[in-house]
Structure 1
């Protein structure tokens, strides 16, 4: 959906930017602010030197007052299982946590949210390994606060293996939430209301169940951006019409919801089938969202890292796949209009 025009602003697509640059400079000199869009989403702006200085002064004031944090909520979704959805949340979440936030001057604070009753993300970071862990208790999940958003949200738990990452865990109790949301869909926006209270975090990444269920809908409604992981299988693309329909339904509750990228996982560059999937995504689906650089198929490595409850960057720091994962994080940040930092 194109942006609605705002008085005193002009819009230009990234493809038009070079050819229209002299014209845009004239408009800038007349006090018009210019918004640059990519795939119909705002990614940047041209502003006057006076406006730039004013924004810098505001950033300094916000940093001194502790205000002005801009939290991004990013959901994931694909109805096909085995496409690397949980792995993508884990790896992107960790990589984001290692990067500097330009607004605060500190590493990003990242919150991972597990909304899948199977609790794959929670297990991935070792929160279910200890039988006495609070991750097994219903009050540690989002169950109660989604049912009643006036209740305080659950306290995020640090991962036992990666303490800088915090998680809101899932457990089997969440399976009841799907039926309750189905019986009263007016509760669907509550998850977003609850998550937006966690203003101490710069990024919230949500792992969703591989289904069209009501928990998935609540998670997508809560999100600003969606990552759609796709493995190198045409089967993983067969349900795109259903995925698109579901996103459209969620946009009725959240008109700002957008697909940030198709994340190409489990890719084997020497396999023609995999090349076909990449080509289809980059051509037939380019109007929906960009396609990420491929993440190579390294099943044993990812499985071993998962068993160690560690991201690849900590489990095997020198492995070349880390470069691929960092590149995908760069592309995600660019797609959602965030500065790409080391």
Structure 2
């Protein structure tokens, strides 16, 4: 299954979710690939792949200079590999505009991908061509949503984009769920935002919530997922629970249409 982790807002926990959800899935025996589709390359950093070790990268894959298998890099987590991003990816959207099947470049490239149980695509904080490519390649979308005052701002735009991609480019695309991130249960406003989001979005919101946790923030500076950096912290435990909930939802066929 290919899952795009998307939200056009920055700082909502997309990369943290991609890295740690992938690690949790790998820890229970799944073969997992993370595709870093953000030119900032934070998922690559968080999985310990240095900038000197990222070529060929997703950029070469999208412009047709490398095959999918050539771009895959191992990580320190058994069963978890990575297609990294470099800063060159920032120019890909402009370069792809004039190419054939510009919205399907990633989907086409992944047809030669070695078998994985899960492919998680960490999308950039925009709804540009890189994100559209991810949505066209994906089976489903997971949306991290920060539990702060403007949480729902922009969500309708993302859901509308998912609907348009499904209608015109990828009929199999479904909304797998919305995961609330950076939740501070000591903060009454955070609790209220979570309640409001559930009231508006209903069953699309996953039960697992990811708390605000300093260990989640520290781990990338060590080039490690939080589950490796500190497996017992509340953030790590939340991502293990999220992996289990998503597997249960997938197994039960409960992925919800956007």
| TM-score normalised by L of structure 1 | 0.69
1:256: how far off? 1.1
SS at match of 2:112: coil
Which of 319, 324, 334 matches 2:233?
319
Give SS of 1:332's match: helix
Q: Which residue of 1 aligns with 2:50?
A: 128
What root-mean-square deviation, in Å, do the aligned CA atoms of Structure 1 and Structure 2 show? 2.0
Q: Secondary structure at the match of 2:176?
A: strand
Q: Superposition pairs for residues 1-342 of structure 1, below 5 Å?
A: 72-99=1-28, 107-128=29-50, 131=52, 133=53, 135=54, 137=55, 140-148=56-64, 152-153=67-68, 154-159=70-75, 161-162=76-77, 164-184=79-99, 186-251=101-166, 252-286=168-202, 289-298=204-213, 300-337=214-251
- Which has more radius of gyration? 1
Q: Alignment partner of 1:301: what SS? A: helix
| Structure 1 pair 325–279 and aligned structure 2 pair: CA distance change class (3 A) | same
Residue equivalent to 1:61: none
Shift, 1:185, TM fit:
6.8
Displaced runs of 4 or more, over 4 A: none
Q: Which has the higher helix share?
A: 2
1:33 corresponds to which residue? Answer: none
Paired positions, count: 251
Question: Could you say which structure has the greater relative contact order, defined with CA pairs below 8 angstroms and 6 or more residues apart?
Answer: 2
Q: Distance in 2 between matches of 1:267 and 1:255?
A: 33
User: What is the CA-CA distance between 1:163 and the residue it aligns to?
Assistant: 5.0
CA change 1:227–1:79 in 2 (3 A) is: same
3-state secondary structure, aligned to 1:331? helix
Q: Could you list the per-position Cα deviations for residues 215-255 of structure 1 after superposition, in whole angstroms to 9, with x for gaps in the alignment?
A: 11001111011110011113232001211121122112001
Deviation string 1:155-207 (CA, Å, 9 cap, x unpaired) is: 31012x43542100000111121112334472211211222332421110000
Residue in 2 that maps onto 1:34: none
Paired residue secondary structure (2:177): strand
Q: Which residue matches 2:256? A: none
Indicate conservation of the 8 Å contact 2:20/2:236, yes or no.
no
Q: Within 2, Cα distance between the matches of 1:294 and 1:219?
A: 24
* Separation in structure 1 between the aligned mates of residue 161 and residue 143 of structure 2, nearest angstrom: 13
Preserved contact between residue 181 and residue 215 of structure 1 (Cα < 8 Å): no
| Structure 1 alignment gaps of length 5 or more | 1-71, 100-106
1:294 Cα deviation after fit = 1.2
Cα distance change of structure 1 residues 96 and 163 upon mapping to structure 2, 3 Å threshold: closer
**Deviation (angstroms), 1:333:** 1.4
Is contact 1:230-1:265 (8 Å) kept?
A: yes
Structure 2 regions of 5+ residues with no counterpart?
254-258
